[in-house]
Chains A and B, each alone.
Chain A
C-alpha cells in the first residue's frame, strides 16, 4: 500500500519511500510500537508516583529513588508487554534492570570521589605536598586552630615512601611474575610442575595482606634480627601480594598470542627463547603492562602490611634499606586514629583526607599511564 502511495506522489521525489503525505511512517512491519515519548513519559510518571509513595513513610531521597526505580522498571515492563508483546516486555525489563545495576554500582564510586574531593581539596597545597610531619606537634596544630592560620605539616614523606616501596615491590614482582608466567605458558605445558605452580599462585592470590606483612617481617627477622623495620621489608610484603596478580595477568596475555606467530618464527629458524623474547612478549606487552599497573594499583593502598614491616615515620626517609618509612595509607591511618593534637583533631583529619585524595590521584595517574603504555605498545594497525 505504501508503495502505491509513493508512486502517486511523483513530485515529492525527495520524500523517503514508505512515508505518507503528512510525513508519518506507516509501515505494516512497525505497527504496535510505543511512541518515542513513552519511556520519558513513564519515567516522569514514576517520579511523581515515587515522590508520593516516599512521603507516606517520611520523605527521604533514598526511598524516593528506590520507589521511583521500582515503579519505573515494573510499569515500563507492563506497558511494553501490553502494547508491544511479551518479548519486548521482557526486553524492556532486562534493559532497565541492567541500567539499574549499573547505576547501583556507580553510586559508591561517585560517592567516594565526591567525598574525598570535597574533604581533601582544602588540604591540598604546596606546603602539604612538599613538607613532612617532622616537628609538627600537637601544640602547632592547636595554634593553627586557635589563630586560624593554615595547617602545617604534610605528606611529602608518605608520598616518597609510597613511591619507593611500590617501586621496589614492582621491581621484585615483575621479573618473578613474568618469568613464572613465561614458564607456565611456554615451557610448562600443563606438566606436574606447571600445575603445582598454578595451584600455589591461586593460593597466593587469596593470602590476606596482613599475613604477607607478617611473612616479610618474620623473614627479615630471621636474617637481620627481630627489629628489622624498613622500606624493603614492606616491598617484599607487597610483592608477595603482587606476584600472583602479575603471574595471572601475564599468563592470560601470553595465552592469547596466536600460536601461528610462534610457528612463523620457528619456521624462520629462530630459537625458542628468541621467539618468546622478540615475538611473543612484544605482541602481548600492552596487556602485560596494564596487568602490572593494575597489580600496582592493588597494592599501593595496602595499610596493614606496611605497618608491620616499615613502621611509621614522620620524617623524610629516602633509604628503603634503613629506618622506618611512612606511606600514604599508614599516614592516613595514623592521622585519623591518633591525631597529632588530641584536643584539636581537625588539622589531622584534614591532612588525612588530603592524603586520601593524593592516593586516589596516584592510582588514577597509574591507570592512565597503563592505558598510555598499552596504546603505545599495542600491535600497530592501519595502512
Chain B
C-alpha cells in the first residue's frame, strides 16, 4: 500500500513568479525522504505540488510532471480530489476539526465524503488509525471529547491518524514537529519510523538532526537570493548528505556554516 513518486522537470509558479525551478527527484516507495533547506527556498511549496495542494492557493500553478507509480498527477482529466485521497498531508500546525470529536476527526475523511461505513467497521478503523498514530492508549477513554482539547503533540498525532485513516499511498508532512516540544517530537519521529513500513513518507523539516534521525534519503533545497527561484541542490542517501556531500553549499548548510 505505497507508491513511488517521480518528479520530472517541475517548475512551480505563484502566478508569474517562479518559486521552484526544474526539480527532478525520485522518491522510493516505503521510504522516508526528508527535504531540508533554508526558509523560503521552496521546500514546502514543492511538497504541496506532490498532492496538488499548491493549486489551492490563488495563482498557484506548475509545469512539468509528477508521476505516482508512472501516472502523471498533472495530466488533464486528473481529478485533484482523487490525487489527494491517495497522497495525504500533515500540516505544520495541528489542525483537527474543532466541531468534531476525536472519533469523528479520525473518521473525517470517510464521513465528510458521506461514504457509508458500518458502526463496527468505523470502530475498527478508529482504533487501527489511532494505534497507527500511537495515540490510542491516550485517547481511548475519551473518543467522544472534542479533538481541540488534546495537547499540541496529541493533536498532531490525531491529524496523522486522520490522514492514515483514508489509507493513502503516500504521506506528506510539512514540518510536522515545528510547533511541538521535544517529547512530542520524539513520539512523532518514532511514528514516522513505523509508518515507513506501510507508506511512502516525505517530510519537510528545519531540524537537521531530525532529518538525520528519520530519513533514508535527504534532499537539500537552496535559493540563490530573494526573488530568485528555489532549486534542488543535492539529493542522496541521508548518510551521504550529512557526512560526505558533493556540493559545497550542502556541506555548509548541514555543518551550520551557512550564510
Number of residues from B at the complex interface, CB < 8 A: 34
Indicate if the CB atoms of B51 and A270 lie closer than 8 Å: no
Q: How long is the Cα–Cα vector from A382 to B84 in the complex, in angstroms?
A: 31
Within 8 A of B (CB), among A308-339: none
Q: Which residue of B lies closest to A284 (CB)?
A: B99
The residue among B95, B99, B113, B150 with the most chain A CB atoms within 10 A of its own CB is B99
Interface residues of chain B, those whose CB is within 8 Å of chain A, are 51, 53, 56, 58, 81-82, 84-86, 88-89, 91, 93, 95, 97-99, 101, 108-109, 111-114, 142, 145-146, 148-150, 159, 162-163, 166
Q: Which residue of B lies closest to A270 (CB)?
A: B112
Indicate if the CB atoms of B166 and A269 lie closer than 8 Å: yes
A-B contacts at CB below 8 angstroms, number: 91
Interface residues of chain A, those whose CB is within 8 Å of chain B, are 189, 258, 260-271, 274-275, 278-279, 282-283, 379-383
Indicate if the CB atoms of A267 and B98 lie closer than 8 Å: no
Indicate if the CB atoms of A268 and B146 lie closer than 8 Å: no
Q: How long is the Cα–Cα vector from A260 to B163 in the complex, in angstroms?
A: 15
Indicate if the CB atoms of B162 and A383 lie closer than 8 Å: no
Q: Which residue of A lies closest to B145 (CB)?
A: A383
Contacts of B111 in A (CB 8 A): 278
Contacts of A380 in B (CB 8 A): 98-99, 101, 145-146, 148-149
Indicate if the CB atoms of B112 and A383 lie closer than 8 Å: no
Indicate if the CB atoms of B84 and A267 lie closer than 8 Å: yes
Q: How long is the Cα–Cα vector from A382 to B101 in the complex, in angstroms?
A: 11
Indicate if the CB atoms of A274 and B112 lie closer than 8 Å: yes
Indicate if the CB atoms of A275 and B112 lie closer than 8 Å: yes
Contacts of A260 in B (CB 8 A): 91, 93, 95
Indicate if the CB atoms of A268 and B91 lie closer than 8 Å: no
Q: Which residue of A lies closest to B146 (CB)?
A: A380
Q: How long is the Cα–Cα vector from A265 to B100 in the complex, in angstroms?
A: 13
Residue from A261, A263, A267 within 8 A of B88 (CB atoms) = A267
What 7 A-B pairs are tightest by C-beta distance, nearest first?
Answer: A269-B85, A379-B98, A380-B146, A267-B89, A268-B109, A383-B149, A260-B95
Indicate if the CB atoms of B149 and A268 lie closer than 8 Å: no
Indicate if the CB atoms of A265 and B146 lie closer than 8 Å: no
Residue from A258, A269, A275, A381 within 8 A of B95 (CB atoms) = A258
